[in-house]
Amino acid sequence: MTAAGTAVSDILSTQGLLSVTFDAHQKLIRVAGRGFCDKQTSHEFVANLISAISAQRQRGPVRVLVDGRAMVTQSADVVDWMQVETGRLYREGDRVAVLVSSPLFKLQLQRSVADNFRRLFVSEEEAQAWLAAA
């Protein structure tokens, strides 16, 4: 249990860089990342994210909150690969809110997140509200 009393099941932690948890109370997959990820780490992460999404999909639409505020700039090949692979995971009605560290970073990423299921946010409250509104 967290301090707020929300049951959270740990699903994955890839070398301490990327973690995936399922918040049963909010019916939300939480992804947190920090630092620099190489290809092996990103492949392990996506494989485990597939498992988390598959489990959540049995309960209803997929809602994911990605906290990327502690991430650093990644290599272009890792970013491109992750966007393609994670883009394949989601269906109509799913939502992915991505938290970024600043409004400038949000503007820089806006072009690469041009689909119907992902949105970028600086505020966690706004991200949570968008996820809950669906």
119: left (phi over 0), alpha (psi -120 to 50) or beta: beta
Q: Provide the terminal-to-terminal Cα distance of the chain, rounded to the nearest Å.
A: 26
pLDDT > 70 in the chain, percent = 79
Nearest-10 crossing angle of helices 39-57, 76-87: 20
Sequence ranges of the domains in the chain: 8-132
pLDDT > 90 in the chain, percent = 14
CATH code 3.30.750.24 for 8-132: yes
C-alpha to C-alpha distances, 122 to 10, 24, 37, 41, 96, nearest whole angstrom = 25, 24, 22, 25, 14
Q: What average pLDDT does the chain have?
A: 77
Distance separating alpha carbons of residues 17 and 58, to the nearest angstrom: 27
User: Which pTM value belongs to this model?
Assistant: 0.77
Give tens-digit pLDDT for 114-134. 677 888 899 999 999 999 987
List of residues 6+ apart from 71 with CB closer than 8 A: 33, 34, 35
Q: Which residue, among 122, 46, 101, has the nearest Cα to 78 in the 3D structure? A: 46
Give tens-digit pLDDT for 73-99. 667 777 777 777 777 888 888 999 989
Q: Which residue, among 15, 67, 76, has the nearest Cα to 44 in the 3D structure? A: 15
